[in-house]
Structure 1
Amino acid sequence: MTTNAELHQRYQAILPSYVKPLYAEPISIERGQGSYVWDVEGNRYLDFFGGVLTTMVGHNNPAVTAAIQEQATKVLHTSTLYLCEPMIELAEQIAAISGIPDARVFFTTSGSEANDTAILLATSYRKSNEVLAMRNSYHGRSFTAQAITSHSSWSSTALSGLSVNFVHGAYRLRSPFRHMDDDEFTEACTDDLRQVIDMMTTGEAACLIAEPIQGVGGFATPPDGFFGSMHKVLANRGILFVTDEVQTGWGRTGEHFWGYQAHGIVPDMLTFAKGVGNGITLAGIVARAEIMDTITALSFSTFGGNPLSTAAGLATLKYVQDNDLQGNARRMGKKLADALQPVADRTPWIVELRGRGLMQAIEIVEPGTIQPDAARAGELLEGCKRRGLLAGKGGLYGNALRITPMLDVTEAEIDEGVAAIVETIEEIDREV
């Protein structure tokens, strides 16, 4: 039997040094069913990370698996050079639920590529290389996506042909405006946006790109209406607003289908990826036709919108809608937050429990301060794993535990996951 340790050795010997597994003793997931996975040694785990929010409706979901199997018996690949019915149907459905008028959809293979395309469209449409983005943001690993990422742990290069300026935003805990109430905080950040545009750009910026809830940034969540306030400033100057829905999309926040809907606006473009294919490679961008059609050169996508991926996407979307998984995300997200809030309140090294729906994060600090404590966050992550729970890590300093159950998670699974987290917190407290 192949062991986790053997695979780890082979992993280290052949993959780049900058690609690192999650745990001190990494595991190889061999199979999954619903909210659970098993490693190659037969150990079972409750999966509250889903491959970084990518398995949306459970491992080996029967409806999605059947759709993939059926399509696999027909044809796996055609490209956008051919008419592909699953691609066209999924594009029609996504356009209809995007909220963007006269929408066009272009499929890609990853969120990085989708965000790269959004910047290509915005800069072409506005004839400007100036881009605005948010502090503490992450938009992917491509050359363009790295330029608009403001997260030192994940920034590979500062080289870019773009002129990028970063504005204050969702990460309120470490903002100079953190002591303000919601309205004051929103106004202060909006004033900062105005000043950045006036002082640091020609006034003709192409777009502002933003995550409604910052994913890699540790689920930093702005007040409702925050981007609505910023949007007024942008719209008055003709600057486009791009919402990066790679992690928030398709009902994960519970209260809305898309994260941008908490802010009373309609974006000019939105990008999606991660869970939309329930693990199959699928991503894309939605934009108004006048923006999407600004590209006049010949172009196509080799793998974006291929028949296998879009068949999985159609099945995933149908499963989310037919089973009211947005509603389940709202209900189970409240149950999760309500159960974790008391322990967060009484634990001196937990500074904040934040998020929305089934996007919850615990930020860990030195007691009595906001000094990040990445080591203790690592202890919490490893302790949960010992108790059979897989979660994620994030935040600017790697000091936030990210908790993202499947959208069809049950009450019993929430209870099981909460028990593992609380027991680990109490264990760490005893050691302290």
Structure 2
Amino acid sequence: MPHDELLRRHRAVMPDWLTLYYDAPIEITGGNGRHVTDGEGRTYLDFFAGILTNALGYGVPEIGAAVSGQLDTGVVHTSTLYLIRQQVALAERIAELSGIPDAKVFFTSSGTEANEAALLLATQYRRSNQVLALRNSYHGRAFATMGVTGNRGWSASALSPVQVSYVHGGYRLRGPLAGLSDADYIDACVADLREVLATTTSGDVACLIAEPVQGVGGFATPPDGLLGAYREVLDEHGILLISDEVQTGWGRTGEHFWGIGAHGTTPDAMTFAKGLGNGFAIGGVVARAELMDCLSANSISTFGGNPLATAAASATLDYVLDHDLQANAAERGAYLAGRLREAQQRHPVIGEVRGKGLMLGVELVDPGTTDPAPGVATAVLEATRAAGLLIGKGGLHGNVLRIAPPMTLTDDEAAEGARILVDAIATVDKELAA
């Protein structure tokens, strides 16, 4: 079916607010390795991985074998009212990998659900609905997670079950803290945290929830150690720390298996999702046992951690560890960041290149300023697609290119993707100058 006909049918029955990329949206119907094919037969190199979800890429035999093996049993679903062997085994591995002492795991079907569960645990444990979050953050599309999302473009409601106060995050291209060194930035942020606690809360705060690298916020990356410095203040007040690892987990940042590793602290809880299932729907929370067990009411998860998803997740985790994809993310990410920073010297439309590993952001601005240029980002998004490369877009102003290929990316594919991306930026920059 032609894309334009499918788009017509989509618009007739799907919500107007459901975002689609490109002036002429595409359907992805096939994939192999790091490449996908659309419904009209065009092939692309994928540098966005289904929003960082297809961590291993497409057509991975090990994932197919694990899923087929589970399907052969005839059991796809039972619910958590029954024991699920694969779920227990996966929880044991995640608890150990988390570094959280005496950890327990609760599985969900998405990152949004995982963050909702973490907020429930923290507010119940602390008997407070007051929560701290970072400006420019994104934590999901449900009621509480929208309430702690510090990005107006993704907060569809002003109503919330939690009372949130925002502190500074990792974004410093513009704003009152722009231009500060890492050490001065951390000092200013810690001072701001103390001020927020003293002025906008009763002091009885449940938790701080934070992304180590802000995903939807345009891969804004705080200086290493910021969340550790925050933790020292939180500990003075008994406030919990939740690390939202939905996008930063499983080694994607290259430096550490979890994004929080760059900050020299162990959180009370971490949330995860996306890349763990390599496309299968799975998320969850790993937390200290005392925190995880604090609920006094009954609860289950109908679909969370189902046998099919946990089979895929276990195979994905095996692949990540056996092939040291964290090291690959560090190496390929350093190469891509280098190519993009070289391009920044030639093209003033690039205001900043940031991120870690295979999680890179390119913020586009009006040349000679730090003013956001969302139209330029859209033009580059279209130009890369036309040249056979899929990338993402985000940031508060929609002016940040998001680069997050599968973690199995090869040298040749990194070079090809960098060439297409840099050429697209150069073309759009030249048109802008003209």
Do these two structures clear the TM 0.5 threshold for a shared fold by scoring above it?
A: yes
Distance 2:96 2:40 in 1: 45
* 1:151–1:396 Cα contact (<8 Å) kept: yes
AA partner of residue 343 (structure 2): V
Structure 1 CA distance for aligned equivalents of residues 165 and 364 of structure 2: 29
In structure 2, the partner of 1:30 is 29
Deviations 1:68-125 (A, max 9, x none): 1111111100111111111000000000000100000000011011000011000000
Query: Do the aligned partners of 2:349 and 2:429 also contact (CA within 8 Å) in 1?
Result: no
- Secondary structure, aligned partner of 1:133: strand
Q: Which amino acid aligns with 1:84?
A: I
User: What is the match of residue 121 of structure 2?
Assistant: 121
SS in 1 for 2:87: helix
| Displacement of 1:345 | 2.2
Code of the residue aligned with 1:62 in structure 2: it is P
* Contact map agreement 1:168 1:175 (CA 8 A) in 2: no
Distance in 2 between residues matched to 1:136 and 1:429, nearest whole Å: 27
CA contact (8 A) 1:87 1:310 kept: yes
Aligned equivalents of 2:295, 2:268: Cα separation in 1? 16
Please name the residue that 2:351 is paired with: 351
**Cα shift readout 1:193-230 (whole Å, capped 9, x = no counterpart):** 01101111111100000000000000000111111100
Question: What is the CA-CA distance between 1:187 and the residue it aligns to?
Answer: 0.7
Note if 1:5 corresponds to 2:37. no
Cα RMSD over matched residues?
0.7
Q: CA deviation at 1:341?
A: 0.9
Contact 2:114 2:283 in 1 (8 A): yes
Return the alpha-carbon distance in structure 2 between the equivalents of residues 177 and 32 of structure 1.
43
SS at match of 1:336: helix
Match of 2:204 in 1: 204
Match of 1:420 in 2: 420
Q: Which position in structure 1 is the counterpart of 2:303?
A: 303
Which amino acid in structure 1 is aligned with residue 148 of structure 2? Answer: I
Superposed CA deviations along residues 385-415 of structure 1, whole A, max 9, x for unmatched, are 0000000000000000000011010000001
User: Partner letter of residue 323 of structure 1?
Assistant: H
Q: Confirm or deny that 1:57 pairs with 2:56.
A: yes
CA contact (8 A) 2:30 2:37 kept: yes
Post-superposition Cα deviations, 1:226-255, rounded to whole Å, max 9, x if no partner, equal 111000000111000000000000000001
Paired with 1:340 and 1:179, the residues of 2 have a C-alpha distance of 21
Gaps of 5+ in 1: none
- Alpha-carbon shift at residue 174 of structure 1 (Å): 2.4
Cα distance in structure 2, aligned partners of 1:55 and 1:161: 32
Q: Measure, in 2, the Cα distance between the counterparts of 1:427 and 1:170.
A: 30
Distance of 1:182 and 1:265 partners within structure 2: 18
Moved over 3 A (4+): none
> 2:135 is aligned with what amino acid?
R
User: For residues 95 and 429 of structure 1, what CA distance do their matches in structure 2 show?
Assistant: 47
Residue 41 of structure 1 corresponds to 40
Provide the rounded CA distance (Å) in 1 between the counterparts of 2:132 and 2:420. Answer: 40
Deviation at 1:5, TM superposition (A): 1.1
Partner-residue secondary structure (3-state), 1:300: coil
Match of 2:127, as an amino acid?
K
Determine the structure 2 residue equivalent to 1:333: 333
1:177 deviation in Å? 1.1
Displacement of 1:152: 1.1
Equivalence for 1:67: 66
2:180 equivalent in structure 1: 180
Letter of the 2:31 partner, please give it: G
Residue 372 of structure 1: how far off its partner (Å): 0.7
Could you tell me which residue of structure 2 aligns to residue 384 of structure 1?
384
Counterpart code for 2:15:
P
**Corresponding position of 2:400:** 400
Q: What's the CA shift for 1:155?
A: 0.9
Paired residue type of 2:229: S
Partner of residue 112, structure 1: 112
Distance 2:305 2:175 in 1: 40
Counterpart Cα distance in 1 of 2:284 and 2:84: 16
| 2: CA distance, partners of 1:161 / 1:269 | 20
| 1:83 counterpart letter in structure 2 | L
Deviation at 1:160, TM superposition (A): 1.3
Which amino acid in 1 is paired with 2:245?
Answer: E
* AA aligned opposite 1:213: V
The aligned counterpart of 1:230 is: 230
The question of whether the paired residues in 1 share the 8 Å contact of 2:143 and 2:161 is answered with no
Q: Whole-Å Cα distance in 2 between the matches of residues 346 and 171 of structure 1?
A: 23
Q: Could you give the per-residue CA deviations for residues 113-155 of structure 1, whole angstroms, max 9, x where no partner exists? A: 1000011000000000100000000000001100000101111
Task: Give the fraction of aligned pairs with identical amino acids, expressed as a percent.
Answer: 53
Report if the CA contact (8 A) 1:328-1:408 is conserved.
yes
Letter aligned with residue 40 of structure 2: E
Query: What TM-score do you get using the length of structure 2 for normalisation?
Result: 0.98
Counterparts of 1:311 and 1:205, CA distance in 2? 38
Aligned-pair CA distance for 1:429 = 2.5
CA distance in 1, matches of 2:223, 2:430: 35
1:175 offset after TM fit, Å? 3.2
**Matching residue's letter, 2:33:** G
Deviation at 1:172, TM superposition (A): 1.2
Q: Which residue of 1 aligns with 2:102?
A: 102
Instruction: Letter of the 2:3 partner, please give it.
Output: N
Given that 1:139 and 1:148 are in contact with CA atoms closer than 8 Å, whether structure 2 keeps it comes out as: yes
Distance of 2:301 and 2:162 partners within structure 1: 24
The secondary structure found in structure 2 opposite 1:141 is coil
What CA distance in whole angstroms lies between the structure 2 residues aligned with 1:60 and 1:308? 17
Match of 1:82 in 2: 82
Structure 2 gap ranges (5+): none
Does 47-56 or 418-427 show the bigger shift?
Answer: 418-427
